Amino acid sequence: MGRETLIDEIRTKLGDAVESVSESYGDDVLAVRPGFLRSLMVALRAAPFDYAVLLDLTCVDFTAGEGRFELVYHLYSLSRNVRLRLKTSLPAADPVADSITGLWKNADWLEREVFDMFGVRFTGHPDLRRLLTYEGFEGHPLRKSYPWRLAQPRIPMKDKV
């Protein structure tokens, strides 16, 4: 399946979910409407798209506006040797997205990391705990609103003389 036909296929089959299609650094980028994320992933995982590998799942904090947080998914198809990037915007007040752990097992820790660092909650995740920081850590350190030097020591610290 060529690149053009693939994009056409996605457009015709999943037109509701896709906001726009663009290209960046040789890979196709789909902007996805948040509510359709999981159903779109289910379709992309199956034939004929066959994106068997979830390469990465991360988040960006754009600070301003309604769509403050942007989730970024990188998919890879082994059978067709192509990559696909998906982006979806989440509201600043209550960033929630559907978990995709049921589709790709490695999404488990990736989603936990995004939860830990950005405070994005994933509904349907089996065990949404902090991954990198420790129990009792308050706030989400990679949010732009987090004071970047604010440490939260677990044991008493002496001040520098």
Partner 1 sequence: MSGLDFLTTRLEMALGWGRKYSLFHYPFITACCGMEYMSAACAHFDIDRFGAGLTRFSPRQADLLLVVGTVTHKLAPVLKTVYDQMLEPKWVIAFGACAVSGGIYQNYAVVQGIDRIIPVDVYIPGCPPRPETVLDGLMKLQDKIQHQKQDWRWAGKP
Q: E strands, the chain, where?
A: 18-24, 27-32, 53-61, 67-77, 82-91, 96-98, 121-123
Residue 160 sits in the site that holds partner 1 (CB under 8 A): yes
Residue 105 sits in the site that holds partner 1 (CB under 8 A): no
Residue 138 sits in the site that holds partner 1 (CB under 8 A): no
Pairing verdict, β 82-91 and 27-32: parallel
Residue 136 sits in the site that holds partner 1 (CB under 8 A): no
- Using CA atoms, how far apart are residues 151 and 127, in angstroms rounded to an integer? 26
Using the minimum distance from each CB to partner 1, give the nearer residue, 2 or 153.
Answer: 153
Other Cβ atoms within 10 Å of 107 Cβ, number: 20
Binding-site member from 34, 60, 141, 143 for partner 1 (CB under 8 A): 141
Q: Say if residues 128 and 111 touch (Cβ distance below 8 Å).
A: yes
Using the minimum distance from each CB to partner 1, give the nearer residue, 107 or 116.
Answer: 116
Secondary structure of residue 155 in the 3-state scheme: coil
Residue 154 sits in the site that holds partner 1 (CB under 8 A): yes
Residue 47 sits in the site that holds partner 1 (CB under 8 A): no
The residue ranges that bind partner 1 (CB under 8 A) are 133-134, 141, 146-155, 157-160
